[in-house]
Chain A
């Protein structure tokens, strides 16, 4: 029998596709329950105010709930243990102070959402308007209004890193200083947030069905805020339509829905609408860099110095805290390069905006933009092709594993090879010749490169250092063979687009030989799965994958023992594959093994392991400092000087994700991320006015890349195994979203260079290009 390989490395078709493509998925918005009430939130119309009172509509006291009703409910608190961290408490409903537009102030409950919105509209707010902090660069001004009582300045955390800077920078032939900015963005999964909560009277449990990436962490947060035992809470993630980090937080709305279900003893539902998502919740990405690069005349990067500010918004979001992003900047800014000197100071500043949340790539997208634009400037400064300047400073394959200047341990790979493969596909000399000739339509051609590495699946030692409410430990999985030889896998991570139903089944196939079609993944339910911090940080295929493999290995040993009895063979001589256990002189199917354990225990051998065909195992990587995938992105753009429009003519990625469990799934992850990166580079921006009002409150203003804006992106894979993971696989989930702003930014600046112009901010809007050209002309 010739069965195609379905294990690690096979491009198995996604097991979850049928359900999704035929519209049979079950998302929070699909859930209806008898007697269910809809919830609408009354949200603050202003960015900063004292809240003197809330006037409920007459006769609606039992339908409108305010902070005054929430006796015993604690606000959301996500402190970091890093020294100097200032703590904030995010109220479930604003009590006496409002700190950003659209902060929830009252929850209104009615049979329909429209009626609930009628109640919200009829509820009055008595506000004492305060001046707002709307600009992160002004948040630390001595006269800036303070957001939180007891703070001396609007800073959650100041952090930094310094190593060898003075000595390394002293003799630089060239020193270039630039300021860069990434705009505030809003994560925009196809499905927004949504929560259904009810009380399961039989189980004596509050059940919260929520569109989340981390059900177990949400349960921690709910127990803390509501003050009830963990055992009395069950959190379920149904089908989840994309997350990207936006569903990796505890929402005030989740706490509120839980409280309402307990209070009303009726099912309640809140489905976030686009305005709530855009203008109140899903904020991310806003960074500012003042960066100086130092290089030698022969093209050696000597040192980098940087001050960076991250606009963390009003509150520290649970569980990652308000400082993860800025503190990461200081540790990852050097990127994939060698340097002898580095100095970086960062500030996580508080402003009257929604809390900044971790978005795919987290700080890396901004860091890559700042560092890679600086690399191009330095190269130009010493008259070198930017690709060549990079080649001379990248960590090389022979130096792996490499401990970089901020003590990151790059596990494996060949960054120079990735660059060279990208360049070969690009034909840079031909592009330079074309650039010199000029385009027939008057547009300007530009070529840009970005190269970066991405730490994924980093574990206990890294996160215990941050001291945030969530530290990943051993990742666990349960593997249970069914009586018919199928397999149930139970994992605490949550698949919301990562294809884990397929890829974890492939890993089970690799170890047990079970047909992936007979593997059922059980996930997204605190009642049914082992504890996990969930899906974030490009960790699932490494951590949950490793845990599934470990549990399946245990199961394999037990299955082989049973098979050994049936085949009268030494269990060590038995090999599992293609759904059967094969001995030296015959084979039995997994179904027969299952049948013996469950249906015919009388046939079991003496001394069989009484734990049976079910095993829960924990897993950690060999070293918990993370896998480092890496990629080189190249962009060829055409800039229209008549409109400022940027067209991506060619976009390519060379990617090394270690051993690919399913190359087709990896391509999908990288493409999706890259298109989001194009959104960061060219389209997405959530500006705030001087009163702290968000200005892109609908999708007519907040532009997302669509099908027409997504170029066809060839991906070339390298597969350097990671020495620390079970199969050599690396986390790859965020990678695609990191490189595009830098590659496209460098390409645009390459096109604008002839005009003495450069952009220094994403998104690269037509207005910013035209303004840059005008500045270039004046200069």
Chain B
């Protein structure tokens, strides 16, 4: 299990990284926690890897009045350790803490996870749930897409082959906002078999109940306020919104949604 031959370029900044991605055969890489195994199994065989972890702007945190921008090459461990300012009332570290294993978190990055778009990935679910958007740099310049438009399917995004994710923009959440994230894993550190997140932010009038780890992009359930306020049955909502899942996966998803909603109610972090 050794990778096929490839060249490696260590990009000094984001613009240089984008320039090196112009060939057909180039791919950006950050923590290499998803791409690395694919290379070693020879399932991915790029001729050139462009390492973006040395780009200063991808390692930066920018605090704005309404949002915080997180550089794409910040690691899960940096979120877990509270080394970064949190746009939320302390929700990010518990999410990061439960991503895979510490060795993976030491190297894996938030931007890499989102760009890889594994449907069961924690950042894919939670950044969609938290209403984040993705800053992208390409040969035509910078652009920004909401998570819900960025992730287009399983392992599929709106990112062009010559573009990179530079940052994740996360709206600030006040103390009255509530959040829960519940996932089901066979064992600690494995990818989720089902997950759900719930956001209730009255100050911004933003409510969301999201079903994730469903082998495609996360799905926001309709009428989230009715679900959050207990006026609608989460099982029925899941049945209606996720007809493509097998009955077994749908039942598991209903459990995830119910438990995420219950965790929001009790305030117990899930």
Which of A's residues lie within 8 Å of B, judged by CB? Answer: 112-114, 117-118, 121, 273-275, 642-645, 683, 698, 700, 703, 705-706, 708-709, 765-767, 770-771
Contact = CB atoms under 8 A, between A and B. Distances in A.
Contact of A273 (B1, B190, B255, B258): B1
Contact of A705 (B37, B187, B259): B187
Nearest to A763: B186
Interface string B100-132: 000000000000000000000000000000000
B187 A703 contact: yes
Nearest to B188: A708
A683 B248 CA distance: 19
Contacts of A683: 186-187
Nearest to B2: A114
Interface size for chain B: under 10, 10 to 19, 20 to 34, or 35 or more residues? Answer: 20 to 34
Contacts of A700: 37, 190-191
B20 interface: no
A642 B189 CA distance: 20
A728 B100 CA distance: 46
Interface string B1-42: 111110000000000000000000000000000000100011
A766 B186 contact: yes
27 contacts: A112-B2, A113-B2, A114-B2, A114-B5, A118-B4, A118-B5, A274-B1, A275-B1, A642-B252, A642-B259, A643-B252, A644-B252, A645-B184, A683-B187, A700-B37, A700-B191, A703-B186, A703-B187, A706-B187, A708-B189, A709-B187, A765-B186, A766-B184, A766-B186, A767-B248, A770-B251, A771-B248
Given A644-B252, A703-B186, A708-B187, 7 more contacts: A114-B3, A118-B5, A642-B252, A700-B37, A700-B190, A700-B191, A767-B248
Contacts of A643: 184, 252, 255
Nearest to B193: A766
A114 B42 CA distance: 11
Contacts of A771: 248
A264 B219 CA distance: 60
B255 A642 contact: yes
Interface string B172-209: 00000000000010111111010000000000000000
Contacts, number: 55
A709 B248 contact: no
A770 B184 CA distance: 14
A706 B4 CA distance: 31
Nearest to A707: B188
Nearest to B37: A698
B188 A706 contact: yes
Nearest to A642: B255
Contacts of A113: 2
A771 B3 CA distance: 40
From B188, B189, B255, name the one whose CB has the most chain A CB atoms within 10 angstroms: B255
B42 A121 contact: yes
A33 B258 CA distance: 60
A705 B5 CA distance: 34
A113 B5 CA distance: 12
Contacts of B37: 698, 700
A765 B187 CA distance: 11
A778 B211 CA distance: 28
Contacts of B189: 706, 708
A275 B4 contact: no
B129 to A, nearest CB: 20
Interface of B: 1-5, 37, 41-42, 184, 186-191, 193, 248, 251-252, 255, 258-259
A642 B252 CA distance: 7
Given A706-B187, A708-B189, A770 B248 contact: yes
A643 B249 CA distance: 10
Contacts of A703: 186-187, 190
A96 to B, nearest CB: 28
Contacts of B1: 117, 273-275
A767 B255 CA distance: 14
Contacts of A767: 248
A100 to B, nearest CB: 19
B2 A117 contact: yes
The 6 closest A-B pairs by CB, nearest first: A708-B188, A642-B255, A114-B2, A273-B1, A643-B184, A113-B2
A344 B145 CA distance: 67
Contacts of B188: 706, 708-709
A2 B244 CA distance: 75
B112 to A, nearest CB: 17
Nearest to B185: A645
A113 B191 CA distance: 30
Contacts of A273: 1
B154 to A, nearest CB: 15
A766 B194 CA distance: 12
Contacts of A121: 4, 42
Contacts of B2: 112-114, 117
A643 B251 CA distance: 8
Contacts of B42: 117, 121
Nearest to A709: B187
A112 B188 CA distance: 35
Contacts of A706: 187-189
Nearest to B259: A642
A138 to B, nearest CB: 26
A715 to B, nearest CB: 24
A638 to B, nearest CB: 15
B41 A275 contact: yes
A121 B43 CA distance: 13
A558 to B, nearest CB: 54
Contacts of A275: 1, 41
A770 B191 CA distance: 19
A273 B41 CA distance: 11
Contacts of B3: 114
B42 to A, nearest CB: 7
Nearest to A113: B2
B262 to A, nearest CB: 10
A372 B82 CA distance: 49
Nearest to B251: A770
Contacts of B184: 643, 645, 766
From B2, B190, B193, name the one whose CB has the most chain A CB atoms within 10 angstroms: B2
A143 B209 CA distance: 54
Nearest to B194: A643
Nearest to A645: B184
Contacts of A698: 37, 41
Contacts of B187: 683, 703, 705-706, 708-709
A118 B188 CA distance: 36
A448 B58 CA distance: 53
A123 B73 CA distance: 39
B167 to A, nearest CB: 29
A577 to B, nearest CB: 49
A709 B185 CA distance: 12
Nearest to A641: B255
Contacts of B251: 770
Contacts of A708: 187-189
A337 B259 CA distance: 45
A112 B186 CA distance: 37
From A112, A643, A644, name the one whose CB has the most chain B CB atoms within 10 angstroms: A643
Nearest to A274: B1
A771 to B, nearest CB: 8
A171 B83 CA distance: 73
Contacts of B258: 642
A121 B248 CA distance: 40
B237 to A, nearest CB: 16
A43 B248 CA distance: 36
A703 B185 CA distance: 11
Contacts of A117: 1-2, 42
A275 B2 CA distance: 11
Contacts of B252: 642-644, 766, 770
A694 to B, nearest CB: 14
Contacts of B248: 767, 770-771
A112 B258 CA distance: 53
